[in-house]
Amino acid sequence: MNAVTKPSVLFVCVHNAGRSQMAAAFLSTLAAGEIEVRSAGSAPADSVNPAAVAAMQEIGIDMSAETPKILTTDAVKESDVVITMGCGDACPIYPGKRYEDWPLDDPAGEGVEGVRPIRDEIRTRIEALIADLLPADK
């Protein structure tokens, strides 16, 4: 049996502690397992931004167990779509990959109030991405 492979998305930001973690959590939750999700950073932080965790918790998404991961060449090779989070991150470019840059404010140093608008913009972008990657008529 030849199973159709799921599309895969990699979210990249410098510290893999805020924007990319929120995007990955949204995509994992809203795509209900239909899309493979990865996130990574070129210089990962020691832990995920607590304000980002709190902002996501407010809407019922728990990412408290996530940890920042280092960006690897393999992660890029294994992903169909690579989305950088507005931080000018250096990312290896491979033919046949789809690259997008989402210019989002950095939530570092922000409280929950400052993270909410970033979270909400990420959700809007994730919903559009899901609609693009998972056509309703499949």
The residues assigned a catalytic role are 13, 87, 91
Residue 53 dihedral angles phi and psi, to the nearest 5°: -60, -45
Query: Distance (Å, rounded) from C-alpha 54 to C-alpha 59?
Result: 9
List phi, psi (to 5°) of 123.
-60, -45
Nearest alpha-carbon partner for 86 in 30, 125, 34: 125
The helix/strand/coil state of 40 is strand
Helix (H) / strand (E) element for 99: namely strand 98-101
Q: Which is it for strands 98-101 and 81-84: parallel, antiparallel or unpaired?
A: parallel
Strands 8-13 and 36-41, by their bridges, are: parallel
